[in-house]
Amino acid sequence: MTDPVPGRPDRFLARRAVDVPPPVERVRRTVLPNGVRVVTDSMEAARSAAVPVWVTVGGRDEPGPLAGASHFLEHLLFKGTPDRDARSIACDVDAVGGEMNAYTASEHTVFYARVPAGAVEEGTALLLDVVGGPALRAEDVDAERQVILEELAAVEDDPDDVVGIRLFESLFPGHPLGREVLGTEATISSLTRDQVAGFFDRWYQPANLVVVGAGMVDHDLLVAQTAAQFGGRPPGERPVRAAPDGRTVARVVEERPVELVHLALAWRTVPADHPDRFAVAALNQLLGAGPSSRLFQEVREERGLAYGISSSATSHLDAGALTVSCTTSPGKAGEVLSVVRHEVAQLAADGPAEEEVERALGALRGGLLVSMEDASNRMLRLGTAESLRGGAVPVAEHLARLGAVTPEDVRRVAGTVLGGDEVLAVVGPRGTATKV
């Protein structure tokens, strides 16, 4: 590693990232007459492509009795179409060395394919067929029901998962954003084939579809393939969402037969398109997102209270969250919580130092530039931005917005966010409630 310039190591190291020119972006966007959006970022040097279909409907759009329907569909769509069964889909993907998978979130469900450059057209056709015309056979619904129930049981057996679930239930009580996207044992057990198919028919429509391509992709070809699959369909409706109110549950402690204490804290932050999101990202970075962050240095490096501690920032259409998580031994849990609260209170009252902000912004700038080397990261960036904000901010503009964040911006946001209501969730062994 190059030695820093004497007398100004932090600023020198933080600012070196901006000396690298932003990566070339070839972003194109087409909206079909019925509302399907096609967004691509072609990379001339790429030898593969990542092509996802973003369905802008997720866990928050399910009525209570249908909780878990989006995740159920994530499983079912790969079970086959009228012309393909699950085995033939898997064989076709494996034959070219590709990958096809999916994931479900509160506000979207994503199905994606990653294939070598020579198989992009075929891989895209397969993915569009899977999303556009699943069979949704009754026997597949019953088979996947058992798989999902096993998945739910595995989550309930993992205290890290459980503490995260309890945290968001407490941060957004009574609201779908606080609900586990897998559903519950009761809802998954009772969902019928007709209910799942009805959810698909209502929401998997052009108004809620974003087709993305990154890497070795041809925009015009992807538009043509998308139009062939979805172009003749009516737009359909978009979900109407209600924002969460200001209520939170301050503390929840769950005692289980486990060895360690799992701690998680959260504060409400800003929505996905809020101008302060860049300052929140800097606050998260300096609080606990990196090895130089306050929490990692104080909890792990200085005191040795835990193997690791981290923070993260998440955002939704109308809300956001800043979270901190850590696992430690029962005898250290109280001290860990005290240290975290001390650092949080100090940031809320005094804000960070200027060099902390510079270092955090340098990490964010560098992380963005490094991520753009990978087609999968580019597809995630495009799809997330299109679904939440109606389009991605160009990298050069993103860097400029980070560069415009001032220490005063971060101090103001720290005071607002960390000075707000704290939510604490804890999962630990018997007696934990008296230690935290």
Q: Which residues are catalytic?
A: 74
In this structure, what are the phi and psi dihedrals at residue 3, rounded to the nearest 5 degrees? -65, 140
Cβ–Cβ < 8 Å for 339, 300:
no
What tokens appear for 363 in the block? 């990490």
Cβ–Cβ < 8 Å for 416, 143:
no
Cα–Cα distance measured from residue 81 to residue 86, given in angstroms and rounded to the nearest whole number = 8
User: How far, CA to CA in Å, does 17 sit from each of 76, 99, 254?
Assistant: 44, 33, 44
Task: Give the position of tokens 């889909």.
Answer: 89
Q: Is the dihedral of CA 57, 60, 64, 68 positive or negative?
A: positive
- Angle of the 407-418 helix axis to the 277-284 helix axis, nearest 10: 80
Q: Environment class of residue 153 by beta-carbon count within 10 Å: exposed (0-12), middle (13-18) or buried (19+)?
A: exposed
Q: Environment class of residue 294 by beta-carbon count within 10 Å: exposed (0-12), middle (13-18) or buried (19+)?
A: buried
Q: Which value, in Å, is the radius of gyration of the alpha carbons in the chain? A: 23
Cα–Cα distance measured from residue 54 to residue 209, given in angstroms and rounded to the nearest whole number = 6
Query: Buried (b) or exposed (e) across 81-92, using 16+ Cβ within 10 A?
Result: beebeeeebeeb
In this structure, what are the phi and psi dihedrals at residue 82, rounded to the nearest 5 degrees? -60, -25
Task: Give the position of tokens 């020579």.
Answer: 118
Cα–Cα distance measured from residue 341 to residue 339, given in angstroms and rounded to the nearest whole number = 5
80 forms beta bridges with: 85
